């Protein structure tokens, strides 16, 4: 998720010179919103869609089963009817995930608390607008831009700029003692923000900041999407205003930019820094309109970017299903415990054992003592040994098959320390590999 969204943001940033040259800021806003979707929605289901399309275009050929080796440096968890075991990298991964979730939770709680605190501060400390003319102006502008949502108006005696806050019941805070003509332009700007649902977009970007706090690209994304929202808002304001009013609107933006007021993360202020201000003014004065050719080109680039950035869904690995491990419960538990610190060999649609044991097939028939030493075994001479000195261990028989599969059988056994004769006892386990890795 974080990588996919970041790739989209980086691609948009690379396209910025082209976007500014052709005044395609609305297109940039759409690309950034697509990045927001990538940041929030797990794209594993896209992998399934791509695989289905691949199977439609290219018939699936029968393939041999492959054995997958999970070494001890790769995080993994083994599920069995007996128990669930996680290896050491898996425990590290779980700890890192816990740290990420705790930090994300506290950031999200912090943002929600600050938002509620600021909303309460406005409703308690800021005087509500009682001017009937201003209310009438607000209702007139709402009808002009076809906005029907209920809006509350407040004034701030200490500020010289305006801002909007709130999603379900938005609040516009206006500067006090400002002439009606400027108030009309400010109101129109803030009402366009509300119509564009920019407060909701800002809230979603804050959620993304909370979830992806470790990713520096997300902070660039936050800055870019806020700038795009301002420019898109300017564009819609300019379409409502006449040419002379548009000139006054540009002057108002410059005036608001000179007010070095500090804003929190939840408001959508009219002011901007110098570079953003310059881009906004150039865009407002530029009378270029997007041609059909440019629309087709941007549509093609959008589809290409969305497709290319989604290709990393193939990095998702499918869980490896282990059918069964046959044998005595005590032996199975011992093998599962080895998973915590050993390499494991997984056979697709087959079974598994620690790779250290599976990979050390030195002889077709061998004896492994309790210290892990391996000796070639021949149980056919067991009746000729008369010695009494033996060591306990495991007799292991490996049998390869013509189809490339193999079987490993493990028996309890004893080995004579003098002549090497192996005495085989009961079957402990039987493991079948669809493809022999030995």
pLDDT at 266 (0 to 100): 60
Nearest CA-CA partner of 214 in 99, 113, 350: 99
Quote the tokens at residue 180: 């009606």
CB–CB of 393/410 below 8 Å?
no
Q: Name, in order, each residue with C-beta under 8 angstroms of 34's C-beta and a sequence gap of 6 or more.
A: 8, 302, 305, 306
pLDDT at 21 (0 to 100): 78
pLDDT at 217 (0 to 100): 92
Low-confidence ranges of the chain (pLDDT < 50): 61-66, 271, 320-328, 347-359
Dist CA 119 CA 350 (whole Å) = 60
Instruction: Measure Cα distances from 420 to 376, 413, 426 in Å.
Output: 9, 12, 19
pLDDT at 173 (0 to 100): 86
Q: Which helix (H) or strand (E) holds 228?
A: helix 216-240
pLDDT at 134 (0 to 100): 85
Dist CA 277 CA 334 (whole Å) = 68
């Amino acid at each position: 998720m974080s990588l996919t969204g970041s790739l989209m943001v980086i691609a948009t940033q690379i396209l910025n010179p082209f976007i500014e040259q052709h005044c395609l800021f609305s297109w940039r806003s759409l690309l950034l919103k697509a990045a927001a979707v990538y940041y929030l929605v797990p794209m594993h289901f896209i992998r399934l869609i791509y695989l289905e399309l691949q199977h439609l275009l290219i018939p699936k050929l029968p393939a041999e089963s492959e054995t997958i080796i999970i070494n001890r440096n790769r995080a993994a968890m083994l599920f069995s009817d007996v128990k669930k075991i996680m290896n050491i990298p898996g425990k590290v991964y779980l700890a890192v995930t816990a740290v990420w979730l705790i930090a994300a939770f506290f950031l999200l709680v912090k943002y929600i608390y600050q938002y509620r605190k600021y909303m309460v501060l406005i409703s308690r400390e800021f005087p509500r607008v009682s001017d009937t003319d201003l209310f009438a102006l607000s209702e007139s502008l709402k009808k002009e831009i076809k906005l029907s949502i209920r809006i509350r108006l407040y004034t701030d005696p200490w500020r010289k700029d305006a801002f909007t806050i709130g999603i379900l019941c938005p609040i516009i805070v206006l500067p006090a003692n400002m002439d009606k003509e400027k108030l009309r332009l400010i109101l129109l700007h803030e009402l366009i923000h509300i119509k564009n649902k920019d407060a909701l977009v800002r809230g979603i970007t804050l959620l993304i900041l909370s979830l992806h706090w470790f990713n520096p690209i997300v902070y660039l994304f936050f800055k870019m999407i806020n700038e795009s929202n301002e420019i898109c808002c300017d564009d819609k304001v300019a379409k409502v205003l006449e040419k002379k009013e548009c000139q006054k609107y540009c002057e108002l933006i410059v005036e608001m930019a000179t007010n070095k007021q500090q804003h929190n993360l939840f408001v959508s202020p009219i002011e901007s820094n110098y570079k953003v201000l310059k881009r906004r003014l150039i865009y407002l004065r530029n009378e270029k309109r997007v041609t059909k050719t440019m629309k087709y080109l941007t549509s093609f680039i959008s589809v290409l970017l969305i497709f290319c950035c989604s290709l990393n869904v193939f990095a998702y690995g499918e869980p490896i299903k282990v059918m069964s491990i046959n044998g005595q419960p005590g032996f199975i538990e011992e093998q599962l415990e080895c998973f915590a610190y050993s390499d494991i060999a997984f056979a697709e649609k087959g079974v598994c054992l620690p790779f250290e044991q599976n990979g050390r097939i030195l002889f077709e028939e061998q004896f492994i003592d309790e210290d892990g030493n391996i000796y070639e075994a021949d149980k056919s001479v067991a009746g000729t040994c008369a010695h009494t000195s033996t060591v306990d261990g495991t007799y292991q028989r490996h049998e390869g098959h013509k189809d490339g599969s193999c079987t490993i059988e493990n028996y309890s056994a004893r080995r004579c320390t003098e002549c090497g004769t192996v005495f085989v006892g009961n079957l402990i386990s039987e493991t079948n590999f669809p493809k022999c890795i030995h």
